[in-house]
Amino acid sequence: MSEDTGLTVAGAGAGLVNAEFTTLQIAALFFVLAALASVIFWVSRNKTIGNTSYGIACLAVAVLTASVILRYINVGHIPYVQLYETFFFMAWCAGIIAIISDPLSKSRLPTTIANILVGFILIYIIQWPAISKEGVHLVPALQSPWLDVHIATAFLSYAGFAISAGASIVYLVKGNEKVDELSYKLVTFSFPLLGLAIFLGAVWANVAWGKYWQWDPKETASLVTWLVYAGYLHARIAFGWKGTKASIFNIIGFACVIFTWVGLSILSKYIEIQSLHVYS
């Protein structure tokens, strides 16, 4: 998240920039291969193919991690300033959460969802024009560890919600109770992360602008999203909502995530939205 006035063009070496995009393209290829292997696994139910798909996914995440590190070296911060970078970072977060969730849930569903999602995201962003991929440095006033931790926490929560929403869609198609339970567990993981991200964002805002909360559209949308997921968890715990109702509620929650993440930035191009958090 960034102020347009707080940025300068990056000047990283051409070799590192080329390495960043090369590793990004390789990661995209691996995620597509992992997605294909995942689909074959669900059709065949062959454990060897399932293990292969997971192994390729781990390799893809490793390559994408290298690309994220190179991006950090090139621009001096984790990828989050430009809209392009947010897709990049969201893809990495989804891959990380998926390869951790698979063994914990004893299911190949998290990596299947992430392989497809991340594969599409990476193929999408590598087609963007070069100007969209140009890195920028943050001015010293915006360089803060609070901001980095705030962003990382927020996008890890977004990624968890994304995989959870994917599981809810699978539930609506298949009606498998284990899938419904997986989506619920992913929300219970992501929900406190989003709350922590909002808190850390307020701490950073006080450091940067002297106020913890300004009712900025992005801040407000984040709070609304958190409250929607609070409602989802309350419905499940207090009212015993499961299955179809819970899945629809969960998907609505992720729609709020998408609006908070990219919707406000897109709307800002068509209507006047004064926000300090519009992506460049």
CA distances from 109 to 44, 98, 192, 263 (A): 14, 9, 23, 27
92 touches 65 (CB < 8 A): yes
Burial degree of 169 (CB within 10 A; 0-12, 13-18, 19+): middle
Question: Domain spans of the chain?
Answer: 1-141, 144-280
Q: Provide the pLDDT for residue 141.
A: 57
- Mean confidence (pLDDT) of the chain: 89
Is the pLDDT at 148 greater than 60? The verdict is: yes
pLDDT of residue 186: 98
Task: Please tell me the pTM assigned to this model.
Answer: 0.90
3-state helix, strand, coil split of the chain in percent (to 5) is 80, 0, 20
Q: Residue 2 pLDDT > 70, yes or no?
A: no
Residue 5 pLDDT more than 60? no
Percent of the chain with pLDDT over 90: 68
Sign of CA dihedral 246, 250, 256, 259: negative
pLDDT of 250 above 50: yes
The more confidently predicted of residues 219 and 137 is 219
Res 273: pLDDT: 62
Q: 71 near 79, Cβ under 8 Å?
A: yes
CATH of 1-141, one of 1.20.120, 1.10.3470, 3.40.50, 3.30.2010: 1.20.120
Whole-number Cα distances in Å, 20 to 16, 73, 79, 141:
6, 10, 12, 26
Question: Which range is least confidently modeled, 2-11, 43-52, 172-181?
Answer: 2-11
Q: What is the pLDDT of residue 8?
A: 40
Calpha distance 170→32 (Å, rounded) = 20
pLDDT at 7: 39
Cα torsion 150, 155, 156, 158: sign: positive
Residue 10 confidence (pLDDT) above 50: no
Lowest mean pLDDT among 4-18, 106-120, 227-241, 248-262: 4-18
Quick one: average pLDDT of 244-258?
A: 97
β-sheet bridge partners, residue 7: 138
